[in-house]
Amino acid sequence: MPKAELQGFLGPDLSSDAKYRLVATYWDRIRHTGYAQAERCTLRGLYGEDDLTAKSVPRIAEKYRETVQPGFYAAILRRANIENCQVNSLQRIFMKTEQPALLAQDLSILEFSRCSAADIARVHTETGKQPTTLDDWLDIIVLRTVREPWRLNVRLPIRVRLILRRSPRHTRRGCFCTTPARCRHDLGSEDLKSLQDFLFRYCVSKAGEYDLPVKLHTGFLGGTGSMHLARTRDNASDLCRLLQDFPETRFVLMHIGYPYEQEFIALAKHYPNAWIDMCWAWILNPAESVRFLKEFLLAAAANKIFTFGGDYVAVEPVYGHACIARRRIAQTL
């Protein structure tokens, strides 16, 4: 879909009928994919409609408006037999939740380890603390890690190769600086990489110390037109050093590393501290996910696999995704 049409489809200004006219041609082309299967399950389970058509759209829109009432997150998730969700917030580092029993919030360590001027400013805004030294920065990391029962969430390996070198703390002190110009321009690429490696590894070590799992996004890249498959292909091998260096830290490797999922079975089989999460996988490729789960259960311990994660921003499609997952898990077994 052209970008302008996509923006119109996602925006609030067009009517439901106008949005359907934008998407109808594309819907016919993708309706058999995992994504569309999950959408159709949602339409059927929540709104009583078998498909997205010109006739069904007005009825779906009316039922949608009736559904979106206080408490609808919990109501939809209960209908999907989901007790609670792990939420990877995209808005803030330290997101609070009004429904902690239903929506548990992850803590992103991307800002801590990337440590750009924007990241430092964001941390200052959210904590009220202004770090001026490396030790100040490390104290903030420890404070936030200890204060809440977070799951640490890293959005790093999808876009860049995760080659993390050991960097002693004393060699990194001179690299840390809160001046935007220095952070962006004066630090050479090697110094910046060395600082980021040290901070990332520090976060991971604290996760192990406080018994927090570290979630790493791996494999396929969301969106279109920007994925470098060479980087994606190397995710599993790049993780080996990290798994070896932090044997007491539990790592949850998300999205099965698709489309290079075989290597992730090997990681789970070999490393005691590696678990695999099938979040997103059932809609990325339902058939491949069946093959993956069957091969995983024949190769690795059954307690090393998490077989579902909704992986949506909106709550409604989670229902359909859960339907697809249960059906395919039954097929696998």
- CA angle at residue 95 from 46 to 313, to 5 degrees? 30
User: Which of 165, 231, 241 is closest to 199 using CA atoms?
Assistant: 165
The answer to whether 277 and 306 are in contact (CB under 8 A) is yes
| 28 beta partners | none
Q: Which two tokens stand for residue 125?
A: 């805004």
Using one digit for the tens of pLDDT, what is the confidence trace for 167-207? 555 555 556 654 444 444 456 678 888 888 899 999 899 88
Q: What is the pLDDT along the chain (333 residues), one digit of tens a residue?
A: 999 999 999 999 999 999 999 999 999 999 999 999 999 999 999 999 999 999 999 999 999 999 999 999 999 999 999 999 988 877 777 777 888 889 988 888 888 888 888 888 888 888 888 888 888 888 888 876 655 544 555 544 433 455 555 655 555 555 665 444 444 445 667 888 888 889 999 989 988 988 889 999 999 998 888 899 988 999 999 999 999 999 999 999 999 999 999 999 999 999 999 999 999 999 999 999 999 999 999 999 999 999 999 999 899 999 999 999 999 999 999
Cα 197 from Cα 171, distance rounded (Å) = 12
**What is the rounded radius of gyration, in angstroms, for the C-alpha atoms of the chain?**
22
Mean pLDDT of the chain, nearest integer:
87
Q: Supply the pTM of this predicted model.
A: 0.88
Sign of CA dihedral 79, 80, 81, 86: negative
Contact residues for 101 (Cβ-Cβ < 8 A; gap 6+): 84
Sign of CA dihedral 200, 203, 207, 209: positive
Contact residues for 39 (Cβ-Cβ < 8 A; gap 6+): 52, 317, 320
Cα 90 from Cα 144, distance rounded (Å) = 17
| Cα distances (angstroms) measured from residue 113 to each of 9, 104, 164, 297 | 35, 22, 11, 35
Q: Which CATH architecture has domain 72-332?
A: Alpha-Beta Barrel (3.20)
- Which sequence spans correspond to the domains of the chain? 1-68, 72-332
